[in-house]
Structure 1
Amino acid sequence: MPLLLLDLDNTLLDRAGAFRSWAQNFLSEIGAPADDLDWLLSVDADGLTDRWDVADAIRERYGLRTPSIELVDAQHEGMAHYTRLDPLIACALRIAGDAGWVPVVVCNGTVRQEDTKIRRTGLDRYVADWVISEEVGVSKPNPRIFALAAQRARMHLRGAWVVGDGPEADIGGAAAVGLPSVWLHRGRRWVDRRFAPTRVVDGLIPAVAAVLAG
């Protein structure tokens, strides 16, 4: 049974949609113009910006006296509130499992994602296990995190595939460890010349189909 190593945000869960929903609600609460949504999305940079930096940018733009830590907590709680597991994603994971694949989440970020995302959404019922960078002390694209995921699942990396939307973290990580990969393009073009995904698709469901066919 081969491993299916899966990214979390914007692969299994719609992180971008959850942040947008939180941002719209937050801006409305503080009385900011609706047009400021584009600014806040650009600051967030699709999750690449540290939440403390997002909080500081918000405080500075709107002259808020709210402590940064409260704004960071607001982001965490808001994201958790708006994050849902798409039933079609759950179905795709079940199909992969029935076909003999072992889904394991490999993600960067804090350990609180286990409670706020993986368990809260019910994703834990559809994956064999998960490895979070803060917990294990190493982040994608370091090949060691994929090896740790295999150890946790008590399996070999041989025959595994990596699926994710991150060019560097997911596809670069797969290339570094010598594994085939599927990139979720989300409307982007592949531009990195150092490595390339084995397959390019627009979502997890076609990604699972590509792995099963590959």
Structure 2
Amino acid sequence: MPLLLLNLDNTLLDRAGSFRAWGEWFLAEIGAPPADIDWLVSLDADGLTDRWDLADAIRDRYALRIPAIDLVDELRDGVVAYTRLDPLVACALRIADDAGWMPVVVTNGTVQYQEAKIRNTGLDRYVADWVISEEAGVSKPNPRIFALAAQRARMPLRGGWVVGDSPESDIGGAAAVGLPSVWLHRGRSWSDARFAPTRTVDSLIAAVSVVLGG
């Protein structure tokens, strides 16, 4: 039973869509122009912007008196609350499992929020296990986090695949550990000359199809 090592945000769960949905609600709550959602999404940078920096920018732009710590909590909890599991993703994971693959989540982030998304959406019913960088003490693209996932699953890394949307963390991590990879392009073009994905697709269903056919 080979390993299927899967990224969480914007691979298994639509983190970008969840943030946008929360952002639209939040802007309405504070009476900000709806068009500001594009500014907010851009500033968030797919979650790469530090939450404290994002909170400070929001407070400054709208002259909010909300304490920074409360806004940081809202930024984190809000995304979790708006996160849903796409039935097509659940179906793809079931197909992979039925075909003899072992789906394991490998994600960077904090245990509190990444695990909340996994459990609250019901994703935990479709994966064998998960490894979160905060708990692991190492982050993607470091090969050790993939090795830890294999160790936790009691399966060898050899023969496995990595699927994710991040060029650096997922595809770079796969290259570092010597595994084939599938990149979810999300409308982007590949531009990193150091390494490249084995295949490029536009959805998790397509990614699973590649792995099962590979």
What TM-score results when the alignment is normalised by the length of structure 1? 0.98
Report matched runs for 1:170-209 at 5 Å: 170-209=170-209
2: CA distance between counterparts of 1:203 and 1:169?
A: 18
1: CA distance between counterparts of 2:99 and 2:35?
A: 46
1: CA distance between counterparts of 2:100 and 2:50?
A: 37
* Counterpart residue number, 1:20: 20
* Conserved? CA contact 2:76–2:113, under 8 Å: no
What TM-score results when the alignment is normalised by the length of structure 2? 0.98
- Paired residue type of 1:26: F
Give 1:113 deviation, angstroms.
2.8
* Counterpart residue number, 2:54: 54
> What secondary structure does 1:112 align onto?
helix
> What secondary structure does 1:94 align onto?
helix
- Which range moved further: 76-85 or 150-159? 76-85
* Counterpart residue number, 1:159: 159
- Paired residue type of 1:51: R
* Conserved? CA contact 2:4–2:101, under 8 Å: yes
- Paired residue type of 1:140: K
Unaligned stretches of 5+ residues in structure 1: none
- Paired residue type of 2:191: V
* Counterpart residue number, 1:33: 33
- Paired residue type of 1:7: N
1:76 aligns with 2:79: no
2: CA distance between counterparts of 1:42 and 1:174?
A: 28
RMSD between aligned alpha carbons?
A: 0.8
- Paired residue type of 2:99: A
Unaligned stretches of 5+ residues in structure 2: none
1:94 aligns with 2:57: no
- Paired residue type of 2:213: A
